Structure 1
Amino acid sequence: MDLLDDDDAPPRRSNAPEFSVSELSQAVRRMVEGEFSFVRVRGEVGRVARPPSGHLYFDLKDDRSVLAAIVWKGQASKLTARPEEGMEVVATGRLTTFPGQSKYQMTVDDIAPAGAGALMAQLEARRKALAGEGLFDAGRKKPIPYLPEVIGVVTSPSGAVIRDILHRLRDRFPRRVIVWPVAVQGANCAPEVARAVKGFNALPMDGPIPRPDVVIVARGGGSIEDLWGFNEEIVVRAVAASKIPVISAVGHETDTTLCDHAADLRAPTPTAAAEMAVPVRAELAERTAVLSARASRALRQGVFQRRQRLNDLARALPRGDVIVGQAQQRLDYLGAQLPRALRSVTERRRVQLADLRLGTGVLVRSIRAERRRLEEATRAMAPALARTARDARRDLDDLSARLDRAQQARVRFRRDVLERVAPRLHPVVRRTVAESREDFERVAASLTPDLPLARIGRLREGLLALDRLRETLGYEETLKRGFAVVRADGQVVTTADAASRAAALEIQFADGRLTVGNRPATGARKRPADPPPEQGSLL
């Protein structure tokens, strides 16, 4: 018998039963549902999803594990509390499997809150601390530029976020975009994001890499653990300290991080951040065209209204020839009256000048008469003043001599009295008398004849001053300057008429007198007075 070749031998079969994938999944499901048909699980609610189907999907987690949970549409409306991310709850339901993904999950019938989760408690404490420092105040937020030239984006270069932002910017208004690649989750997320924001602020204004006008910090949606890097204090402080306006677009619309509070503007999604950063170019062009058309219409309407207003005002104004004609008529009238007015003014000025000349002559004659009276009074006063001066000088000399003799006699009398009384006084009184006598002798010595002579000297000086005044005011001094005094019959002659009627004239000069005969005037013609000067034209 031929032996069979090893390759032709039939395969050996095992006694273990064979299951299909579906059979095994169903077996696992029956076992899980049988063992955990009713359970109560305590944990923190993680990511929550509410799809359009009406079902509710969320995660229950602790510090080591995560359990997927589902609430069917019919049961979702009956829940005691709606699950929110970060809440710590007690979920009641049963365990089951999902064969489509080979995982197990919990079908929840009811949820009861059990308190805030650890992450949410930590997040809330950090939020309060940073808010207390004023990092979230609305007053410190900067406005976003309306049309930035350069936009900086802090995100992962390999995700869909950057593509969405670039696509949206290209559709609305193409701008220059600078991407700073960072990790958007994990341990390196927070330091890299903070470094990127600080790096954009450190770029020089005129450097090779332009400095952005606005910065977008963007990331897609995720659980609170995935977004935790944007809740770190280093990121919040970097965004708050940025001198460049920052738009935060972290997560989806329901996701909120501390970076959103510190940013100058929060966008619900990265695509919305691109829309907030730039306007729509087509809308701007259309708006510009509309405003330009409105401005042109307004300009034309304004010019038309002002032209119409000007025409109305022109019709209300009087004609120019009427206004100018009245002024010309007044000018002609005043021009006709001007020569007569000039002649009248000239005549009045001539009369006033003649009056002034007449008044000047009267004044000169008055001065001359006063001078004559003064000279006559001086001549009459000179002999009396001289006699008074001589008498006063004689009286003063006599009085001085008498006063001197009286003082000396009085001193001698007092001395004799003291000498007679002194021997009879007490020695103490004698000493007092001796001292008094010495004082009296000192006083008597001071009463020398020089004292009244000084007073007499002052009187003599006053008298000499009066005599000099008399000589100055006398007419003899005037004669020394070339003048002469004419007398007739002992009287001073002051007019030519009086001199012509006198038989003889006596003329007194400074060095003597001269008597001359006089002849009556024969037909002497008076010299006509000079005519007043003719005044020239005033024009």
Structure 2
Amino acid sequence: MLAHPSSAPVRIMSAVSEPRPNTPEWTVSELSGALRRTVEDAYGHVRVRGEISGYRGPHSSGHAYFSLKDEGARLDAVCWKGTFARLKVKPEEGLEVVAVGKLTTYPGKSGYQIVIEALEFAGAGAIMAMLEERKRRLQAEGLFEPARKVPLPFLPRTIGIVTSPTGAVIRDILHRLADRFPRRVLVWPVRVQGETSAAEVAAAIRGFNALPQGGPVPRPDLLIVARGGGALEDLLGFSDEAVVRAAAESTIPLISAVGHETDVTLIDFAADVRAPTPTAAAEMAVPVRAELLGTVRMLGGRLTAAPPRLAERWRSALRGLVRVLPSAEDLLAQPRQRLDLAAARLPRALRTNAGAHRVRLQAVSGRLSPAMLRARLDRLGDRTRQLSRSLVQCTARTMQRGADRLAATRDRLGAARAASLRAHRVQIERRGERLMGLHERAVRCLSVGLRDRARRLGAVAQVLEALSYHGVLARGFALVRDASGKAVRSAAGVSGGQVLDLEFADGRIGVVAAGTRPTGRRTPPAPQPGLFDAP
């Protein structure tokens, strides 16, 4: 490097001679955008099969974030709020699905993800695995315990049916009930397949249980949840967790009749009874009326014949007992003999008893001398006088203690009365002040209310004055009425010689019509019905 002594230092860059690379420079955002466009163009619509992992329910924003995985890879997935609400298959942890959507990148993490547009089950095996997992979880909560189930009523008065009102199932059930034992039936119409099926069935079960006893709509004594047969995907609504919980919480006995005998849904385990078909559910719900009538007639015949047979049996038993009983002479023989022996011993026993009492009297009479009685009376008198003196002393002490307690109580009552009077006086003064404040507020509120009412009344009066037809009459118009007092709205309704009544702003006059107007002349429109310009 060379420099002139009198000038500033000059540096010669050696990089001028170095070769410049041809690779273009990218910013991070530009590179991320290019990658995103490349991925979205190449994989605009894909179907990915995998197992759902890391799903913890929808985010607070409504979006759902989880992953799809298999044995060797993992793919982040996102489902936006609007799409999540329309999904036929809701994501669940561990569920094997086929996700339909498009691949895109997320620049914030330098990763790629699939934006899901639809979810499908990955075959019947995935559905069965999902149902088994849900069954195991609900069973661990005790929803399928036999102790929760209640017996069906023998003859329900009202039967509630949750099914589609347009299918063959409801007709089969009603036909079977009519054949066996006609009962009142309440049908809660629901969709038996589709996205809203589970929510509608759960709401119907809870709605029947919410009906009050004795209300305008009778509360069913038995519920039947029914649907015809179908594919495994069509019956998924009856394995939904909301439907299973509603069936387990039902206080009304519930029969599950979903599909054919080989079809199994989770509501079958939560219901009180599972029926193989809807027709079988109707047979379980009510007995056969003809069989009941036959049984009643048979039992009535037995009841009619039983009393005579029972009376005859008792009569025969009584005759046998009469033959076994001894005669009156045999029953009285021994008591009569004992009476004779006792009568023979009675005089001697009386003499002996009298002698013993005489001896005891003589022994006692020696101790009953007047001196002994007098001494005993003296001792009792001294004892009585001593007790009398003690009684007088005790009475005096008791009265003195009572007087002391009475004086103390009187003093306490006086002090309490004075304190109570002071407290009441203070409270009365406070309430008086508060009453004066409330009185002032009431006066102010009343005056404000009166002014507001007067202002509103004036506004209403102005509106009434503006809308009144008298204002129109004051501008020079007249109101035409016929003889009956009805308003005449057009010239065509007036004939020659007709008596009319004209009302002006300052009064009313009667006139007689001379004739109609010429047809060639156009009548100007009236400002209001029944009002015409005064001549």
TM-score tier by shorter-chain length is: 0.3 to 0.5
Could you state the TM-score of these two structures normalised by the residue count of structure 1? 0.43
Could you state the TM-score of these two structures normalised by the residue count of structure 2? 0.43
Higher Cα Rg, which structure: 1
